[in-house]
Structure 1
């Protein structure tokens, strides 16, 4: 974080400073919500969660080097910034950091799927030009965004802010913490439909990012999604369309996947002549992500040649998102089980089919959560797609995945129904052979990402820590 005295922070968040010398103590380390991550110069934010009161861990945070604690009440022998609302103060602190960084360029990214992969891709491009801060993993909430913003240092040039939402108004709130000049909207899907109630409510919420852009800003919209395209009506910023549609300003054609599932395409509108692009990232869905990143890079004055090279050189960063492991036993594992919705499930199955040319394909699929009333139909649709793509074997894990398996079986796929992750593990151990391509895909709480890691390590592979 930019160095700030406790007196500066107290004024910024309207805090009462208790048991601290405001003139002597300076926060110049990370802002943390986990006392175990505190270090010299840190500020520990004592949040009260569902299972624990962060104030209990304040002494441990200070013992680890934290300068002070941001909390609701004084803590004995602990320098404390006492506020009536910790979340509000945390957000105000992050905004203060932004306001103290006048040269900072902020890009906001939202969408029902692909946010994390796109922010990873954009961060890899921008890092070639200057110090860049981007979220760790999927830090895209009212907690994750201020945590990310507070990592901004005096020399930070770019901030990539991933913005997620569980309800209407959430993204508008996040834009008050990290006000973007460039906004990217990837898609509007059915993720978290149970919480929103309708796809229209999801679209309205995603459009909050576009509505927050200044007139001199840029909205980068997916031309292939009608709901995203319509967001041009809610912004005063310039609009640039990306996608495969004929009127896209940056348009992709000739999209295909190689035998490793990596996307290749031709981009129009980038140079005087069409340019061939080959990504290291697996899945056709990365084509739209890459176009959005190229558009943002150009707006931020990254030289075209360097932006194109960086996009093609970029690899996966965040865990469990189309991670590919070629194991010593000849099996290829694709671990894409951090999250799932109908769109991302379809993209993963298509990538599996592309990788499976001449090889047996095994899809290990779990339930897609938070889909509300469309859940049954969405799971059945995934099963039908598996059949249409010619997936050889499908392992349906848990009762929630049974509709996937039932539909796939009706379309000729060999299906194994298993009760849970442990049963799936036993099934796979007796099934996998040299040459197989095995996909793990489910919502995070279904647990398949850890099953994928288990299969990988048992075969002698190494997963990132």
Structure 2
């Protein structure tokens, strides 16, 4: 964070500075969590439905915090800034720091692929410039301002991920971010529970365009039923499309996948054409690369820098990360999260592998009243993708394996029996052919346990083999 004074902070958050013997006391660190190192930090006491950090103000001060932003008056010996709403104050402070540093900013939203596009852009821009990118999944109304507060004077670019689970959230976070470029990566059945329908998701994601300046650029997928809506919203303003269609402004052609499902393709923007190869697996990552390329070109990156940056992006743990457990056994870890669209994309990738293919799926969360129907849709897609086996664990996911029943579909009531069945199938099939297992589910399903169990099994088997080696 840039260095600012207590008085500057108070003005930025429309608060009243109290108890400060030195209003020019310098602040260069902000925290909302007493588990952080709080020495010389400004502590913001957030209050939510199930927590109230005002209960930990004394602890924060004892740990070295030099001032507090609070909704409750403190004693006059304690430096504090009194505000009506600390959560709103956090947003105001993040926006003020962003305005002070004034980096060229790209904001990204969408049902899927936000983090991947963010990583792609950070890799492209980071070759030449200092860039700040969202860490982890800090993409909600708390995470976005905390991301902006990480800005330093040397940051020339910011790549900020905007997520949402209810209408109005992106309108708020884009008002803080004020991007120069806004990417709406896609719309699908993700977090439907908070929006009522996929149409509600689309409407909420479109809020990202509200933060753009008059000459700002909106980037959207060409192959979307919502494109006419976005064009209407952006009437008279700049909008660029990406996709596989020849009509898309930024497009891919001549796509080829290697044995790991990693694509090489020709990227075309206007009359520029160049070849791109990705370390990331899956056809869907071609579209992610197109979105990132459009934004990167807009902020001044060259075709060569874009191609090199994209090629340097390695898989993020839990996002279609392939692991070779033995010569004949591959496990693909896609346990970071799951939506209908991302699960279909994972199935398409799995279907491209030779030999026995096993899909292991936990529940896809936050799909609302149509959750079972969405799981059945995924089961149908698995059939179309030509998957050999479809194993499920959870409550909702059973609907997917039931659709697949009779073709190698099976539901499990316990983690242990699921892992045993996977290992048994691998043992039977890997003697004569390659076996690929893809594990996926929403975070609440904790499907990473399956990946960890498979890794541990083969690690133990390898160690035992070493002990008996000559």
Same fold, judged at TM 0.5 (above): yes
* Residue of structure 1 equivalent to 2:6: 6
* Residue of structure 2 equivalent to 1:237: 237
Match 1:366 to one of 351, 362, 370: 362
Whether the 8 Å contact between 1:210 and 1:231 is mirrored in structure 2 is no
Give how far 1:221 is off: 1.2
Query: How far apart are the structure 2 equivalents of 1:43 and 1:185?
Result: 34
Question: What are the equivalent positions in structure 2 for 1:344-383 lying under 5 Å apart?
Answer: 344-354=342-352, 356-357=353-354, 359-383=355-379
Whether the 8 Å contact between 1:324 and 1:332 is mirrored in structure 2 is yes
Query: How far apart are the structure 2 equivalents of 1:351 and 1:270?
Result: 29
Please tell me whether residue 87 in structure 1 is matched to residue 87 in structure 2: yes
Whether the 8 Å contact between 1:241 and 1:248 is mirrored in structure 2 is yes
The verdict on how the C-alpha distance between 1:78 and 1:390 changes in structure 2, with shifts beyond 3 A counting, is farther
> More displaced, 227-236 or 377-386?
227-236
Give how far 1:420 is off: 3.6
Query: How far apart are the structure 2 equivalents of 1:87 and 1:456?
Result: 42
* Residue of structure 2 equivalent to 1:204: 203
Question: What are the equivalent positions in structure 2 for 1:321-340 lying under 5 Å apart?
Answer: 321-327=319-325, 331-340=329-338
Give how far 1:142 is off: 0.3
* Residue of structure 2 equivalent to 1:416: 410
> More displaced, 194-203 or 45-54?
45-54
CA RMSD of aligned residues (A): 2.2
Instruction: Kindly provide the CA deviation profile for residues 206-264 of structure 1, in whole angstroms up to 9, marking residues without a partner as x.
Output: 11112432221111111011214530221253111110122111111233322112122
* Residue of structure 2 equivalent to 1:320: 318
The verdict on how the C-alpha distance between 1:454 and 1:36 changes in structure 2, with shifts beyond 3 A counting, is farther
- Larger Cα Rg: Structure 1 or Structure 2? 2
* Residue of structure 2 equivalent to 1:287: 286
* Residue of structure 2 equivalent to 1:407: 403
The verdict on how the C-alpha distance between 1:457 and 1:43 changes in structure 2, with shifts beyond 3 A counting, is farther
> More displaced, 254-263 or 185-194?
254-263
Query: How far apart are the structure 2 equivalents of 1:200 and 1:460?
Result: 46
Whether the 8 Å contact between 1:257 and 1:351 is mirrored in structure 2 is no
Give how far 1:270 is off: 5.7
Whether the 8 Å contact between 2:371 and 2:396 is mirrored in structure 1 is no
Whether the 8 Å contact between 1:2 and 1:153 is mirrored in structure 2 is yes
Number of residue pairs the alignment of both structures matches: 453
Whether the 8 Å contact between 1:421 and 1:448 is mirrored in structure 2 is no
Question: What are the equivalent positions in structure 2 for 1:383-398 lying under 5 Å apart?
Answer: 383-398=379-394
Instruction: Kindly provide the CA deviation profile for residues 160-202 of structure 1, in whole angstroms up to 9, marking residues without a partner as x.
Output: 1111122222211111111111011111111122221122222
Query: How far apart are the structure 1 equivalents of 2:350 and 2:27?
Result: 48
Give how far 1:409 is off: 1.9
Whether the 8 Å contact between 2:242 and 2:290 is mirrored in structure 1 is yes
Whether the 8 Å contact between 1:362 and 1:437 is mirrored in structure 2 is yes
Give how far 1:144 is off: 0.9
Instruction: Kindly provide the CA deviation profile for residues 278-307 of structure 1, in whole angstroms up to 9, marking residues without a partner as x.
Output: 111111111111011111111111122112
Give how far 1:62 is off: 4.1
Gaps of 5+ in 2: 461-470
Whether the 8 Å contact between 2:223 and 2:243 is mirrored in structure 1 is yes
Query: How far apart are the structure 2 equivalents of 1:78 and 1:38?
Result: 19
Whether the 8 Å contact between 2:105 and 2:178 is mirrored in structure 1 is yes
Instruction: Kindly provide the CA deviation profile for residues 48-77 of structure 1, in whole angstroms up to 9, marking residues without a partner as x.
Output: 244432233334444544333322224567
Question: What are the equivalent positions in structure 2 for 1:75-154 lying under 5 Å apart?
Answer: 79-102=79-102, 104-154=103-153
Query: How far apart are the structure 1 equivalents of 2:78 and 2:333?
Result: 44
The verdict on how the C-alpha distance between 1:394 and 1:38 changes in structure 2, with shifts beyond 3 A counting, is same
* Residue of structure 2 equivalent to 1:297: 296
Whether the 8 Å contact between 1:182 and 1:217 is mirrored in structure 2 is yes
Counterpart secondary structure, 1:112: coil
TM-score, L = length of structure 2: 0.90
Please tell me whether residue 342 in structure 1 is matched to residue 340 in structure 2: yes
Query: How far apart are the structure 2 equivalents of 1:33 and 1:454?
Result: 35
Instruction: Kindly provide the CA deviation profile for residues 321-360 of structure 1, in whole angstroms up to 9, marking residues without a partner as x.
Output: 2222223575322111222111100001111222x21x32
Whether the 8 Å contact between 1:220 and 1:239 is mirrored in structure 2 is yes
* Residue of structure 1 equivalent to 2:309: 310
Query: How far apart are the structure 1 equivalents of 2:220 and 2:129?
Result: 25
Whether the 8 Å contact between 1:281 and 1:314 is mirrored in structure 2 is yes
Query: How far apart are the structure 2 equivalents of 1:431 and 1:24?
Result: 67
Whether the 8 Å contact between 2:110 and 2:163 is mirrored in structure 1 is yes
Whether the 8 Å contact between 2:338 and 2:442 is mirrored in structure 1 is yes
* Residue of structure 2 equivalent to 1:27: 27
> More displaced, 242-251 or 416-425?
416-425
